């Protein structure tokens, strides 16, 4: 089994969920997403974040707003749409189930009564 491949599959799976969770907290600027993830010890390249955001936006889960900045041109801030919120709650439910299942399965086996 290719461990690296599995690892990357796992990461890929949760990446969108993580980003959605950050945006769910409130309007956010992409580089802030990076920072927040870094703080949570999840590292992501900005180069992969932008295409993800665009994809989510095109899927109707996100929307953006131009916010005037003190210096330079206005910046793009991302915000959740209703559809996004709905998708997020579904994903959250799935995640909780998964996390539960995984934590159960990764625990040392409890002695079976029948055995």
Partner 1 sequence: MKKVININFQGRILPIEEASYETLKQYIESLRQYFDAEEGRDEIINDIECRIAELCDDRLKKGAVCITEDDMRLIIESIGRPADFEAQDGFEATTSANASNASNAKQDQFSDNNENPKRLYRDEQNKVIGGVCAGIANYLKLDPLLVRVLWILLFGISFFAYVLLWIAVPNTSTKQIGGAKKRLFRDIDTKVIGGVCAGLSKYFGVRVIYIRLLFLVPTILLVFNWNHFHLFQFWEFDDFPNFIELTFSPSAVFIYIVLWLVLPEAKTTADKLEMRGEKVDINSIKNTIQTDMEGFGKRAQTWGSNMYNKNKINESQSTTTASSVAPEPPQPKGCLHFAGRTLTILFKAFVYFVLGIITISILAALFGFGIVATGLLPLRRFILEDGAHNWYAYAIIVFFIWVPVVGIVTAIIRKIAGIKKANVWVRGGFWSLWALSWIFIPLFFAKLTKSFSKQNDPQEQAYTLPNAKLNYLEVSAQPKLKYYNHTWLKIEPFTYLDQDTVYVRNLRIRIVKAAADSFEVKYVRISNGKTLQEAERLASLINFDLQQKDSTLFLDKGIAINKTDKFRNQHVIMTLAVPVGKRFKITNKGWAQVNVRVNKKGWRSETNSGFIINDGFDGDDWERNVDTEAFDYDHDVEYIMTPTGLERVDGVKTSNNDNEDPEQLKSRLEELKREKEKIENDLKKTWEQKQKEADEIKKQLDKTKDTLKRNSTKAVSKVSDTVKTIAAGFDAIRLLVSRFQS
Residues that bind partner 1 (CB under 8 A): 8, 11-12, 15, 30-31, 42-51, 53-55, 57-58, 71-73, 75-76
Contacts of 83-88 spanning 24+ positions with Cβ under 8 A = 84/20, 84/23, 84/24, 84/56, 84/60, 85/24, 87/20, 87/61, 88/20, 88/21, 88/24, 88/61
Q: Which is nearer to partner 1, 44 or 92 (CB)?
A: 44
Looking at the Cβ atoms of 13 and 105, the one nearer to partner 1 is 13
C-alpha 108: how far from chain center: 29
Asked if residue 77 lies in contact with residue 28, where contact means CB atoms within 8 angstroms, the answer is yes
Residue 76 beta carbon to partner 1: minimum distance, rounded to whole angstroms: 7
- 48 or 94: whose CB is closer to partner 1? 48
**Least distance between partner 1 and beta carbon 32 (Å):** 12
Report, in Å, the least distance between residue 115 CB and partner 1: 40
Structure tokens, 111 = 């002695």
Nearer to partner 1, 72 or 111 (CB): 72
């Amino acid at each position: 089994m290719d461990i690296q491949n599995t690892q990357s599959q796992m990461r890929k799976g949760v990446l969108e969920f993580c980003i959605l969770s950050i945006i769910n907290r409130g309007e956010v600027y992409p580089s802030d997403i990076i920072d927040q993830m870094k703080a949570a010890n999840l590292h992501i390249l900005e180069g992969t974040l932008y295409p993800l955001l665009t994809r989510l936006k095109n899927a109707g889960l996100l929307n953006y707003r131009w916010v005037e900045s003190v210096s330079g041109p206005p910046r793009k801030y991302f915000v959740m749409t209703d559809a996004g919120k709905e998708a997020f709650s579904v994903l959250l439910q799935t995640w909780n189930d998964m996390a539960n299942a995984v934590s159960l399965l990764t625990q040392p086996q409890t002695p079976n009564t029948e055995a």
